[in-house]
Amino acid sequence: MKKIRSYTSIWSVEKVLYSINDFKLPFPITFTQMTWFVVSLFAVMLLGNVPPLSMIDGAFLKYFGIPLALTWFMCQKTFDGKKPYGFLKSVIAYLVRPKLTYAGKTVKLGKDHPAESITAVRSGIYGISD
Structural domain span for residue 93? 8-97
75 domain-assigned:
yes
CB 30 within 8 A of CB 15: yes
CB 71 within 8 A of CB 37: yes
This prediction's pTM: 0.58
Give the H/E segment covering residue 28.
Answer: strand 23-30
48 and 90 co-located in one domain: yes
pLDDT tens digits for 47-95? 888 888 888 888 888 889 999 998 888 887 677 777 777 777 888 888 8
Tally of domains in the chain? 2
* Pairwise CA distance, residues 37 & 63, whole Å: 10
35 and 83 co-located in one domain: yes
127 pLDDT band, cuts 50/70/90, is low
pLDDT of residue 81: 72
Cβ contacts of residue 99 below 8 Å, gap of 6+? none
* Pairwise CA distance, residues 98 & 59, whole Å: 44
118 domain-assigned:
yes
